[in-house]
Amino acid sequence: MNIVVTLKQTFDTEAKIALTSSGSIDDNGVKQVINPYDEYAIEEALKLKEANEGSEVTLVSVGGAGTESAIRTALAMGADQAVLVSDPTLEAVDELVAADILAKAIAQIPYDIILSGRIAVDDGSAQVAVRLAEALGLPSVSSIQKLEITGQSAVATRDIDGGSETIEVPLPAVFTAQKGLNEPRLPGMKGIMAAKKKELKVLTLADLETSAAALNAGSKVTSYSLPTPRSAGKIISGEPAQQAAELAKLLREEAKVI
């Protein structure tokens, strides 16, 4: 079975976000990690590989040279090889372009199952994997919490409002991983040692027979802003009855929530 996992490198979830003077997100000195939801996808791919002898897990990513460290970590977890599309002419990549590039890269390799995180924790758009399925003409199931493969079809379970839903799709298909699908493993020392010997193929847009000019973004980020800092809390003093009355008054008149 050929299993493809799409991977994105994101800021560490504990990183403090700051903007540069020109208003873009400042990544200077920020620790980068594998997008946490992609870790569930990697783990699921590795479990499928372990259960199906002869399977291979290939990572596919789009990003700058810095993405290589996330890819090496995923290789250390146990993935077999990786393809990174990294092209100096690529600047801001929206979801449409990212999915387009991933589709072109994945079209060059064999695949039965494509796994992805359900959302990237940085931009939070949850679009790329679904657009990728569309570009490849494949069925897709989002936010799965369970995946079973039988022959040429897959049964995926996902949480829906008030219950869960079980969906059967023919393979190949795209699945996006939700928290709860599995517990991602940590890379062991042997995995780390093995990772440097695994193939990480770096492709340019020309290798995919396309160019930055040919890739049309559907959207453009116009600006970023940080949340307004939370103002200090207010302490209401006095007798309990007075405090309650004052609180009700403030909630109505100042916070305007009741």
Partner 1 sequence: MDFGFTEEQQMVQDMARRFAEEEIAPYVDEDEKNHFYRREILSKMGELGLLGWSIPEEYGGNGMGWLEAVTALYEIAKVHTSWRLSISGNCWGPAMTINQYGTDAQKEQFIPGLVGGETVGSFAITEANSGSDVGSMKTFATDKGDHWVLNGSKMWISGGHSSDIGLVYAATKEGGGSKGLSCFIVDYNNTKGVERIPILEKVGMWPAPTSEIVFDNAEIPKDALLGEQDKGFQMCMWMLNNTRMGCATGAAALSAAALEGAVNYANERTQFGQPIGKFQMIQSQIAEMKLEDEAAKYLVYRAAWLKENGLPSQQATSIAKLSGCNAAVHAANLAMKIYGSYGYSTEYPCGRWLRDSKQFETLEGTSNIHMGIVAGIELGYQPNR
Distances from the Cα of 250 to the Cα of 214, 239, 240, 244, 253, angstroms:
57, 16, 15, 10, 5
**DSSP code for 56:** E
Nearer CB in complex with partner 1: 88/188: 188
Query: CB of residue 152 vs partner 1: minimum separation in angstroms?
Result: 35
Query: CB of residue 181 vs partner 1: minimum separation in angstroms?
Result: 17
Q: At what angle do helices 67-77 and 36-51 cross, to 10 degrees?
A: 30
How many whole angstroms separate alpha carbon 98 and alpha carbon 91?
11
Distances from the Cα of 172 to the Cα of 48, 83, 137, 141, 215, angstroms:
14, 19, 10, 12, 25
Query: CB of residue 185 vs partner 1: minimum separation in angstroms?
Result: 9
Query: CB of residue 36 vs partner 1: minimum separation in angstroms?
Result: 12
Token code pair at residue 109:
């390799």
Nearer CB in complex with partner 1: 172/187: 187
Nearer CB in complex with partner 1: 172/191: 191
Nearer CB in complex with partner 1: 73/142: 73
Nearer CB in complex with partner 1: 186/257: 186
Nearer CB in complex with partner 1: 2/81: 81
Burial of 132 per CB tally in 10 Å (0-12, 13-18, 19+): buried
Beta pairing class for 113-117 and 81-85: unpaired
Query: CB of residue 133 vs partner 1: minimum separation in angstroms?
Result: 31
How many whole angstroms separate alpha carbon 122 and alpha carbon 229?
20
Residues near partner 1 (CB under 8 A): 33, 69, 72-73, 76, 186-190, 192-193, 195-196
How many whole angstroms separate alpha carbon 64 and alpha carbon 86?
5
Nearer CB in complex with partner 1: 65/251: 65
Query: CB of residue 74 vs partner 1: minimum separation in angstroms?
Result: 11
Query: CB of residue 151 vs partner 1: minimum separation in angstroms?
Result: 33
Any idea what the Cα angle at residue 70 is, between residues 173 and 195, rounded to 5°? 95
Nearest to 8 by CA among 45, 39, 46, 43: 39
